[in-house]
Amino acid sequence: MDLIYEGFAKAVALLAALDREVLDITWLSLKVSGTATLLSLVFGITSGTALALANFPGKRLVVSAVNTGMGLPPVVVGLFVTIFLWRNGPFGSLDILYTPTAMIIAQAVIATPIVCGITVASIQNLPPNLRLQILALGATRPQMVWLLIREARLPLLAGVMAGFGGVISEVGASIMVGGNIKGYTRVLTTATVMETSKGNFDVAIALSLILLLLCFAINYLLTRIQQRERPR
Amino acid sequence: MNDAPNFLEVEQLTVARGGVPVIDIPRLSLAEGEVLSLIGPNGSGKSTLMLTLATLLPPTGGRIRCRGEAIDSDRARFAYRRRLAMVFQEPLLFDTTVFENVAAGLKIRRMTRGEIRSRVMETLELFSMAGFAERSASKLSGGESQRTSLARAFAIRPEMILLDEPFAALDAPTRLALTTDLERILTETGTAAIVATHDQLEALRLSTRMAVINRGAIVQGGTPAEVMNRPANEFVASFVGMENVLTGTVLACSQSVATVSLGGHAIELVGQAEPGESVIFCLRPENIAISTTDPAGVTSARNVIRAVVRKVIPMGIYNKIEIDCGFPLVAYLTSQSIDHLHLDPGKTVYASFKATAVHLLRRD
């Protein structure tokens, strides 16, 4: 029990001191996962909307595949991104393995199916005639798609939360493609793994607390937006 | 044929779903400002036809013309769609304020903020919804939602409006209030409209022409009086119910009782109309009492008309009796009464009905 108590005490001290290295790690986590989430929104909402509105044989199979992808194990993503970016892999010439860019790519790959799957469900949940109603109001196809996405904005915000929550807390892919290089690719999760394995529980607890606070703050913000959006 | 072309002309229109033909309409037209009601039971193809007319569903064959121009390319379809509006059975409102909902079609057309503001408020006023502008659409009652949906459609000032069972999901009083308002607004704006409904009274109130649809085909078209009084076949007869729909001229009107001249008789009915006006009214057959002696003084009914029996048709538990009062009238009688009164064709009878039994349907 002492271990936990001391850990917490030291963690608070560390946080209070605004340790430079801890701040850098936190900032990088936010930057990498934030960028990855943004990318996943672009790809996920576009592909999810297209998938929800399109009609083609085998659609169910594709939707099932996307839904499976929502639970994609980060280590599997990490493995494949590593292979692709390996020196003599298909994209080896880019020379970006063990950089924050590689981490962004891996995290975007993890988050995109989450956003895509939630988008498909949100759009399909809209009343089937809404599409026709919007067209009957004189909308062009792009206007119609835009209005549908806007109409599904509240469940889509849940998709943003799920996507961001998924990537900020994942460690497998980040450690594989980032390498946990001090001052360069070290993020909150990879640092926590390392400190724990070294037995530095106090630092690990401090990092975990920051991670939790960060997740809470982002979700709180998004929830506020979601609630405010609903007019009284 | 030197008349201006109709707003809408449909020729040889066919629609198939999954290879099964569901719509087959050789001809259908809608004049400028005309209100046509499309009546038929559920599953008769009303909605499919409405969607096809809105070019939201591609037909398998035939053509649609708007003011003589064929709607046969994507560009023509889009231009045509911008001239019409459609309202569905569900209000299909956006999850935002009433104002933003009514503004939707105007924003799509990229009108300026000022124009949108004045047009939205003006349209909300028309539907008695001005006080609801800043309310959330998700908090409206069924009637208010449908009013908002109608306002959204009328806000774009469509040249034609397609209404697909707009009031089917509403309770009777709300429905009546909305029908009254819609009738007024259609007349005021002069918007051409097609109203799909399975409610014949709604159709009678709103439209000048009716088309009865069954299994994807129009089985009868004509004025409400034609369709109601002379159903083309058994289906129409059973669907519209046998109503006495009559047209007369108002002689006088006082204290909400109008006297209407028809076939040499003065008929009293409850309703407001101006003398000289032509009105359509209806009388349910079960509200007509038949006797062989003059009931004047015995009955409290305001209308007593001498008539001659034309035909007695057994209909199971009751009989349909067609009489000639100088205008045709249909009444229902039990077999017992028929026997008791010895009602045979040619016999003179008295038909009596209350002024409250006569429904003033519309003023022309």
Q: For residue range B66-80, list pLDDT tens digits in order.
A: 999 999 999 999 999
Number of CB pairs < 8 Å for A and B?
53
Which CATH number is B350's domain given? 2.40.50.100
Contact by Cβ (8 Å): B178, B130:
no
On whether both B236 and B268 belong to a single domain, the answer is: no
CA distances in angstroms from B41 to A87, B44, B52, B197, B326, listed in the order given: 70, 6, 18, 8, 33
Query: How far apart are alpha carbons B22 and B273 in whole angstroms?
Result: 43
B108 and B162 belong to one structural domain: yes
B268 belongs to a structural domain:
yes
Q: Which pLDDT belongs to residue B43?
A: 87
Does residue B265 carry a pLDDT above 80?
A: yes
Chain A residues within 8 A of B104 when measuring between CB atoms: 137, 147
* Averaged pLDDT of chain A: 92
Is B1 among the domain residues? no
In this predicted model, what pLDDT tens digit does every residue of B222-231 receive, in sequence order? 988 778 766 6
Give the residue from B211, B243, B275 where a domain finishes.
B243
Based on its alpha-carbon atoms, the radius of gyration of chain B, rounded to whole angstroms, reads 23
Orientation angle between helical segments B98-108 and B113-126, nearest 10 degrees:
130
CATH 2.60.40.3500 is right for the domain spanning A2-229: no
B207, part of any domain: yes
Whether residue A232 and residue B97 make contact (CB cut-off 8 A), yes or no, is: no
Domain end residue (candidates: B223, B243, B263): B243
Among residues of chain B, what percentage have pLDDT more than 70? 96
Q: Is the pLDDT of residue B242 over 70?
A: no
Q: Do A136 and B162 touch (CB under 8 A)?
A: yes
Average pLDDT across chain B, whole number: 90
Q: Who contacts B364 (Cβ-Cβ below 8 Å, separation ≥6)? A: B208, B277, B278, B279, B280
Is residue B267 located within the same domain as residue B332? yes
Q: Which helix (H) or strand (E) holds A45?
A: helix A20-53
User: Taking residues A1-14, what's their average pLDDT?
Assistant: 80
Residue A12 pLDDT:
83
| Co-location of B299 and B198 in the same domain | no
The confidence score (pLDDT) of residue B201 equals 80
ipTM of the complex: 0.82
**Strand partners for B248:** B279
Query: Which domain range does residue B344 map to?
Result: 245-363
- Cβ distance B105 to A132 less than 8 Å, yes or no, reads no
User: Both B308 and B253 in a single domain?
Assistant: yes
Angle, CA B44 vertex, CA B43 and CA B48 arms, to 5°: 85
Among chain A residues, the shortest Cα distance to B107 is held by A139
- B155 lies in the same domain as B297: no
Q: Residue with structure tokens 């035939």?
A: B62
Contact A135 B97 (CB under 8 A): no
Q: Does one domain contain both B208 and B191? A: yes
The residue of chain B with its CA nearest to that of A229 is B96
Q: Smallest CA–CA separation between A127 and chain B, in Å?
A: 7
Beta bridge partners of B320: B313, B332
SS3 call for B55: coil
Q: Using a CB-CB distance cutoff of 8 angstroms, which residues of chain A are in contact with residue B123?
A: none
Predicted confidence (pLDDT) at residue B354 exceeds the cutoff of 70: yes
Q: What residue type is assigned to position B134 of the chain? A: E
Residue A229 predicted with pLDDT over 70:
no
Asked if residue B100 is part of any domain, the answer here is yes
The fraction of chain A above a pLDDT of 90, given in percent, is 76
- Domains: count for chain B: 2
- The Cα of B34 is separated from the nearest Cα of chain A by a number of Å equal to 20
pLDDT over 70 (residue A231): no
CB interface of A with B, residues 106-165, below 8 Å? 127, 129-130, 132-133, 135-140, 143, 147, 150-151, 154
Phi, psi for A173 (deg, rounded to 5): -65, -40
Nearest-CA distance A133 → chain B (Å): 7
Of B243, B273, B296, the position where a domain reaches its end is: B243
Interval A190-210: pLDDT, tens: 999 999 999 998 889 989 989
Let me know whether B183 and B261 are in one domain: no
Closest by Cα among B137, B143, B153 to B99 = B137
Task: Report the pLDDT averaged over residues B280-302.
Answer: 86
Predicted local distance difference test score (pLDDT) of residue B282 = 81
Q: Is residue B2 part of a domain?
A: no
Check whether B42 has a pLDDT greater than 60: yes
As a whole number of angstroms, the distance between CA B41 and CA B199 comes to 9
